[in-house]
A and B are shown apart, each in its own frame.
Chain A
Amino acid sequence: EVQLVESGGGLVQPGRSLKLSCAASGFTFSNYYMAWVRQAPKKGLEWVATISTSGSRTYYPDSVKGRFTISRDNAKSSLYLQMNSLKSEDTATYYCARASPFTPVAYWGQGTLVTVSS
């Protein structure tokens, strides 16, 4: 069974940094692209980042490009999201997601809440 467990969320001041982690199990982590998707309170879904199996290729929307960095450690079956220069509009639940052969977001974790506020 695919399991994705996020951690690292919390309250952070604007301009500060936070690093999210996602522990994966139930599948061969190194074989799959991974992604982060976020959801602001009472709002819709927004794709945040995708990383290739080796980590050599990463993709971001303009809203986070240059501030967020997705990375992975295949030896630890772990996915990360380093978030710098955080803004109030980054407040959201962040979901870790695993790809399937035909979609970059197939399996979802339970999410971790990030609140950016002074």
Chain B
Amino acid sequence: DVVMTQTPVSLSVSLGNQASISCRSSQSLLHSDGNTYLSWYLQKPGQSPQLLIYLASNRFSGVSNRFSGSGSGTDFTLKISRVEPEDLGVYYCFQHTHLPYTFGAGTKLELK
């Protein structure tokens, strides 16, 4: 199975600052069709997860442009610029290039 390693486990940021979360996969996520099937989700406290980014760098419908995804192969990054209170929660990366699909363990974004 592909192991998704997220760092850091938790991240304390001040409002208005930038946050960066790393996700590394144990195998390349580049599919034979040329796509990289890596998504990012945010789970706010007490809520279901919500999709932020798909195909490593594409923002989902309605997602703020303060969220950006980048990376290729095995190394991926989610950046959140100008952190706002509604950005707090746990962020997960998710690969669906290889079966079984696997999530990272999560990164908790907290206020400093």
Identify the A interface with B (CB < 8 A): 37, 44-47, 50, 59-62, 95, 100, 102-111
Contacts and interface: CB of A to CB of B under 8 A. Distances in A.
A3 to B, nearest CB: 12
B51 A45 contact: no
Contacts of A108: 48-50
B76 interface: no
A111 B54 contact: no
A60 B99 CA distance: 8
Given A61-B100, A102-B37, A108-B48, A44 B54 contact: no
Contacts, number: 61
Contacts of B89: none
B103 interface: yes
Contacts of A45: 41, 43, 49, 92, 94, 103, 106
A47 B35 contact: no
Interface SS, B side: loop
B96 A44 contact: no
Given A45-B106, A60-B100, A105-B51, 19 more contacts: A37-B49, A44-B103, A44-B105, A45-B49, A46-B103, A47-B100, A61-B1, A100-B51, A100-B54, A102-B58, A103-B39, A103-B54, A104-B96, A105-B39, A105-B96, A107-B51, A108-B48, A108-B49, A110-B48
Contacts of A62: 100
Interface residues of B, number: 25
Nearest to A46: B103
A50 B58 CA distance: 22
Contacts of B60: 100, 106
B34 to A, nearest CB: 12
Given A103-B37, A104-B96, A47 B103 contact: yes
